[in-house]
Amino acid sequence: MRFFPLILAVLFVSCGTDGRVRRAPAEVRHYGLSERTRIDLAADPEVEEELNRVLIKYFGEPDAPHLASQSAWIEEGFDPNASPFQGGRPDLLKQGVSVDSLREDNALVWRQELELLAANDSEQVGPFRGRRKMSLNWRELLQIDPEPGPNAASDFFLERYPPLAEAGELFGVLCARCHGFEGGGNGPMGARLFPKPRNYRGGTFKYVGTLDSVKPRRTDLLRTLIHGLPGTAMPSFRRLGSSELNALADYVRLLSIRGEVESMLVDEWIDGDVPPEQAIDELYELIWERWLSAEQEGLVIHAPTADPDPTRWHMGRKVFLDPASGNCFSCHGTQGTGDGPSALRVDEEGQTFALLKDDWNEFVLPRDLSKGVFRGGSRREDIYMRMYCGIPGTPMPSLGQSYHADGTPLLGEEAAWALVDYVLSLSGQGPLAGVAGASGTLPAPTK
Ligand code: HEC
Ligand code: HEC
């Protein structure tokens, strides 16, 4: 039922013979509640109605999504709905995204359009595939001024930063078939995939550069979008420009915050506590705080010079196999092939059973490190980050939060980098690639 409005939208947005996008008859779309919410509130339609009212107040509706502003933000000049070109997005600018770099990138993405404009050929510009709202805005611009001055027209492209409504439309075209219209990971294609598309509603992300906060930083989300997650269905969207990628990250954040507010409120209501307006505000701010603080806490990792000294390979292997240290083998297996005793059980008849589950209640297999396919990136820094931060929502632990009994970190820097290079060597990568021998058989550890 949830996808019915989407299908309608697809049917109505047909291309006319003139190649222009026709406006669909007004059909109102709504964000749906999660399956869990609907089950929990099945006997309580009044609470469901109230919940919908609150969610619309804070997040809007699919055709006009927005993020409720807080008075403290207004004082700080932060407006989560604004374009960085109009100010109001210090969060974005703090995250290493500059207005100049967005402009430069827009100039590349819309090169053809800008060339047509420079040649006074604005009639040839648009419509833009999969971007109905943008096409309509462009037509509006032409209607107000059939021959827009070169500046107004080119600024349309150069200063393009899709507002949340446009980002939502892009999400509908590019992502919803896997991630679901509301980001519940339940798109029509999702059910057949392993691993399943991420359900953003719980607020947990896997490939993050933060410790306690499982929130991704903007760079983490952008990395996922640009490189995809190799070895999974999550594709790369590198053909999009920086503005669109950032706007998609904004929209993923909206869906995620919305999902978390929804489930927290349902918990409160089920406990019999009807949250007053102020409590809802606090909840909303708390989740936002986690997203914004992830940016400050994020790790910046500089890999030491690649050192091919074979003793480092043995040091890495020792840590990998030591139950009191890395203990990696218990899940990843002694050869790193993902078949450690904590992960798989083989019964007397030779049947293999997966033992580990993730927070989404799906079975999860430790990565086969000998394949050399790393979802979070395969640079030395990326492997270090994965080891250090762990993979939230999965059993993969975080070394950055593992300590000896006396409070010292479980692994020092030298051992940690030896382990990184050892892991990479299992697939013939990194500075220690040759050490395991061309045949792939492992030499005995030296004393
Ligand atoms: C063909 C299916 C598919 C499409 C289309 C798709 N994704 Fe994904 N996406 C996945 C899968 C599968 C995963 C989970 C992989 C995993 O668990 O390692 C994922 C994970 C993610 C994550 C989570 C990363 C993390 O750190 O946990 C984000 C964010 C994401 N996708 C965003 C998007 C956006 C935005 C789009 C559209 C521009 C999109 N995806 C389109 C399949 C898809
Ligand atoms: C309790 C089990 C467990 C232990 C212990 C463990 N891992 Fe993992 N590891 C996993 C699981 C499960 C995944 C896959 C998670 C997923 O696909 O969502 C994983 C994934 C990985 C990845 C893939 C990252 C990527 O970007 O794809 C690397 C690298 C890795 N582990 C290294 C290590 C190292 C090094 C150690 C020891 C310090 C270790 N793991 C200890 C369970 C474990």
Residue of 177, 223, 229 to mutate, ligand 1, most atoms within 8 A of C-beta: 229
Residue 334 burial (10 A CB sphere; 0-12, 13-18, 19+): middle
Q: How far apart are CA 304 and CA 410, in angstroms?
A: 19
- How far away, in angstroms, is 171 Cα from ligand 2 center? 30
Q: How far apart are CA 169 and CA 176, in angstroms?
A: 10
Which residue's alpha carbon is at the smallest distance from atom 37 of ligand 1?
175
- Report pLDDT for 281: 93
Beta carbons of 153 and 122 less than 8 angstroms apart: yes
- How far away, in angstroms, is 279 Cα from ligand 2 center? 38
Beta carbons of 84 and 161 less than 8 angstroms apart: yes
Q: What are phi and psi of 16, to 5 degrees?
A: -75, 175
Beta carbons of 369 and 361 less than 8 angstroms apart: no
Beta carbons of 210 and 136 less than 8 angstroms apart: no
pLDDT in tens, the chain (447 residues): 444 444 444 433 333 333 344 445 567 889 999 999 999 999 999 999 999 999 999 999 999 999 999 988 989 899 999 999 998 898 888 888 899 999 999 999 999 999 999 998 888 999 999 899 999 999 998 887 776 666 888 999 999 999 999 999 999 999 999 999 999 999 999 989 999 999 999 999 999 999 877 799 999 999 999 999 999 999 999 999 999 999 999 999 999 999 999 999 999 998 888 889 899 999 999 999 999 999 887 788 999 999 999 999 999 999 999 999 999 999 999 999 999 999 999 999 999 999 999 999 999 999 999 999 999 999 999 999 999 999 999 999 999 999 999 999 999 999 999 999 999 999 999 999 988 654 445 555 444
pLDDT digits (tens, 9 = 90+) for 55-102: 999 999 999 999 999 988 989 899 999 999 998 898 888 888 899 999
Number of neighbouring beta carbons within 10 Å of residue 188: 14
Ligand 1 contact, 164 CB (< 6 A): no
Ligand 1 contact, 207 CB (< 6 A): yes
Number of neighbouring beta carbons within 10 Å of residue 25: 7
Q: Which atom of ligand 1 is nearest to the CA of 224?
A: 24
- How far away, in angstroms, is 231 Cα from ligand 1 center? 12
CA-based R_g, the chain, Å: 25
Q: How far apart are CA 423 and CA 384, in angstroms?
A: 10
Residue of 177, 179, 360, 391 to mutate, ligand 1, most atoms within 8 A of C-beta: 179
From 161, 202, 149, select the one nearest 179 (Cα to Cα): 202
Which ligand is in closest contact with the Cα of 325? 2
Number of neighbouring beta carbons within 10 Å of residue 144: 9
- Residue matched to tokens 């589950």: 357
- How far away, in angstroms, is 179 Cα from ligand 1 center? 7
- At residue 341, what is the residue type? P
Terminal Cα distance for the chain, rounded = 65
- How far away, in angstroms, is 198 Cα from ligand 1 center? 6
Ramachandran area for residue 231 (φ above 0: left; ψ -120 to 50: alpha; else beta): left
Residues constituting the chain = 447
- How far away, in angstroms, is 386 Cα from ligand 2 center? 8
Q: How far apart are CA 162 and CA 166, in angstroms?
A: 5
Which residue's alpha carbon is at the smallest distance from atom 11 of ligand 1?
197
Q: How far apart are CA 180 and CA 282, in angstroms?
A: 28
Which residue's alpha carbon is at the smallest distance from atom 24 of ligand 2?
374
- How far away, in angstroms, is 323 Cα from ligand 2 center? 15
- Report pLDDT for 403: 92
Which residue's alpha carbon is at the smallest distance from atom 33 of ligand 1?
175
Residue 285 burial (10 A CB sphere; 0-12, 13-18, 19+): middle
- Report pLDDT for 437: 53
Tell how far CA 334 is from the center of its chain: 32
- Residue matched to tokens 């292997």: 317
- Report pLDDT for 436: 65
From 37, 29, 98, select the one nearest 261 (Cα to Cα): 37
Q: How far apart are CA 380 and CA 427, in angstroms?
A: 13
Ligand 1 contact, 179 CB (< 6 A): yes
- How far away, in angstroms, is 396 Cα from ligand 2 center? 5
- How far away, in angstroms, is 177 Cα from ligand 1 center? 11
Pull the structure tokens for residue 210. Answer: 């933060």
Q: Which atom of ligand 1 is nearest to the CA of 190?
A: 2
